[in-house]
Amino acid sequence: MPDDQYKRLTRERTSQLFGVASLARTSLWLGTDHLLLIEANGYTESYKRFYFRDIQAILIRTTPTRQVWNWVLGSILAFISLCCLAGGLVTSVRDQEWVSGPVIVFLASLLLLGLPLLINNLLGTTCACQIRTAVQTERLPSIVRLAQANKILNRIRPLIEAAQGQLSGEEVAARLQDFQSFQPSPYAPPAAESPGVPPVIS
Amino acid sequence: MKPTISCPQCRILLLEGVFNRPQPTPCPSCGTPLVIEVFPALFRPIAPGQSAEAVMVEGESSCFFHPQKKAVVPCGSCGRFLCALCDCALHGEHYCPTCLETGKSKGKIKALKNQHTRYDRLALTLSIVPVLFFYVTLITAPIVLYMTFRYWKAPVSQVSKSRVRFIIAGVLAALQLIGWTVFFIMLGKSHR
């Protein structure tokens, strides 16, 4: 039966960068004791559950996707604007009258390219998010903006802390350093039992 | 998995300065701004697996699957006695491996359900796309109606209850069938 307790955290998004036409879409939902990652591929949905008690870490890194889109959209818009300006000037001077064609093209390109450019910048920095448990590190492709990631993190952090407890950044660093210092190096040669005698491999 | 955290960009081992900070902090190696939230589960040791005890006293209940092992719990689904080895605990319930497998394959245990077919989306596609080829609707419209009635009561998805797609698909399929009926009646009349 469908669960009323699930609350939408992210909208359905394609899992590829330029996969606008792709059928594969993912979304993230908040359950009572877990996060539910839905991967919809056309007519089937597959579910991955991340229980709050099992989540070890959430890793978010900023990506240059916003700049890439800015360059792509900005360059095309600038090129079309220049072409319209040059075309308009040449035609106006030659025919000695105002021509509306280049203006219409410019306005259309402003709508088709300028608006996405504006939205891309308003949404903020892009990011990639991963969730880690003891058995897997899973990418969350539906989280693509840092502001959105922070909002979701602020929402789920208290739930995870309620299930597991809390750790400060200093505690995490101290524990990780302790673990590193206690680990025997895998490259250290086995110690000889007595001088001059080769080590025995059991 | 070891309790270590690596930079998702450059894979260098992170040891301090970037954990549980409210603002993005640059990776000491590659400089990529990172937000890394670490929880106590990272340092939790993995619980060792249980081993079943042998039956010591005659008449003591034994495991259904291992008669020489002592039963510790009954299966929450079939009621068979299980030893510690056969006991599969899931959200406070205890299941035998057979019931767990059956529950997964038949979708009886909701927490194990990991795949679902969206018949509502399929029905909607089948009611819209064939319109482009028109004659195909003679076949697809009854299929859509069948799917709509057959899966109407089935759960649409794990998270959604909306049957709007089924309604639209059903209405479109019904209209297509009405259109075909009218067409055949007109065809019959013109031949008389």
Q: Which of A46-55, A104-113, B50-59, B133-142 has the lowest mean pLDDT?
A: B50-59
Does B114 contact A46 at a Cβ distance shorter than 8 Å? yes
In this predicted structure, what is the pLDDT of residue B184? 93
Does A61 contact B8 at a Cβ distance shorter than 8 Å? yes
In this predicted structure, what is the pLDDT of residue A1? 44
Does A45 contact B115 at a Cβ distance shorter than 8 Å? yes
Q: How far apart are CA B167 and CA B150, in angstroms?
A: 13
Q: How far apart are CA B130 and CA A112, in angstroms?
A: 31
- Calculate mean pLDDT across residues A72-84: 91
Q: Who's near A52: CB < 8 A, 6+ residues apart? A: A33, A34, A35, A156, A159, A160, A162, A163, A164
Residue B145 has pLDDT above 80, yes or no: yes
Does A130 contact B9 at a Cβ distance shorter than 8 Å? no
- One domain, residues B105 and B143: no
pLDDT band at A143 (very low <50, low <70, confident <90, very high): very high
- Calculate mean pLDDT across residues A152-176: 90
Comparing A42 with B168, the larger pLDDT belongs to: B168
- One domain, residues B37 and B57: no
Q: What is the 3-state secondary structure (H, E, C) of chain B?
A: CCCCEECCCCCCEECCCCECCCCCEECCCCCCEEEEEECHHHHCCCCCCCCCCECCCCCCCECCCCCCEECCEECCCCCCEECCCCCEEECCEEECHHHHHHHHHHCCCHHHCCEEECHHHHHHHHHHHHHHHHHHHHHHHHHHHHHHHHCCCCCCCCCCCCCHHHHHHHHHHHHHHHHHHHHHHHHHHHHC
Q: To probe the interface with B, which of A3, A176, A185 has the most B CB atoms within 10 Å?
A: A176
- One domain, residues B123 and B187: yes
Q: How far apart are CA B75 and CA B93, in angstroms?
A: 8
Token pair recorded at residue A68 = 């890439």
- One domain, residues B103 and B60: yes
Q: How far is A39 from chain B (nearest CA, A)?
A: 9
> Among the three residues B57, B92, B113, which one is the final residue of a domain in this structure?
B113
- One domain, residues B60 and B107: yes
Domain assignment of residue B32, given as a range: 1-46
Q: Which chain B residues are closer than 8 Å to A62 by Cβ?
A: 24, 32-34
Q: How far apart are CA B30 and CA B9, in angstroms?
A: 8
- Calculate mean pLDDT across residues B162-175: 93
Q: Supply the pTM of this predicted model.
A: 0.79
- One domain, residues B64 and B101: yes
Does A167 contact B38 at a Cβ distance shorter than 8 Å? yes
In this predicted structure, what is the pLDDT of residue A196? 61
Does B20 contact A169 at a Cβ distance shorter than 8 Å? yes
- ipTM of predicted assembly, 2 dp: 0.80
Token pair recorded at residue A5 = 């307790």
Q: Which of A150, A132, A120, A60 shows the shortest CA–CA distance to B33?
A: A60
- One domain, residues B102 and B59: yes
- Pick left, alpha or beta for residue B36 (phi over 0 → left; psi -120 to 50 → alpha; otherwise beta): beta
- One domain, residues B80 and B135: no
- One domain, residues B87 and B150: no
Residue B164 has pLDDT above 90, yes or no: yes
- One domain, residues B163 and B131: yes
CATH assignment of the domain containing B101:
3.30.40
- One domain, residues B62 and B99: yes
> Among the three residues B68, B95, B113, which one is the final residue of a domain in this structure?
B113
- One domain, residues B101 and B54: yes
Residue A202 has pLDDT above 70, yes or no: no
Q: Which of A37, A36, A39, A35 shows the shortest CA–CA distance to A25?
A: A39
Contacting B residues, span 68-107, partner chain A, CB-CB under 8 Å: none
- Calculate mean pLDDT across residues B182-186: 93
Q: Which chain A residues are closer than 8 Å to B7 by Cβ?
A: 61
| Number of domains making up chain B | 3
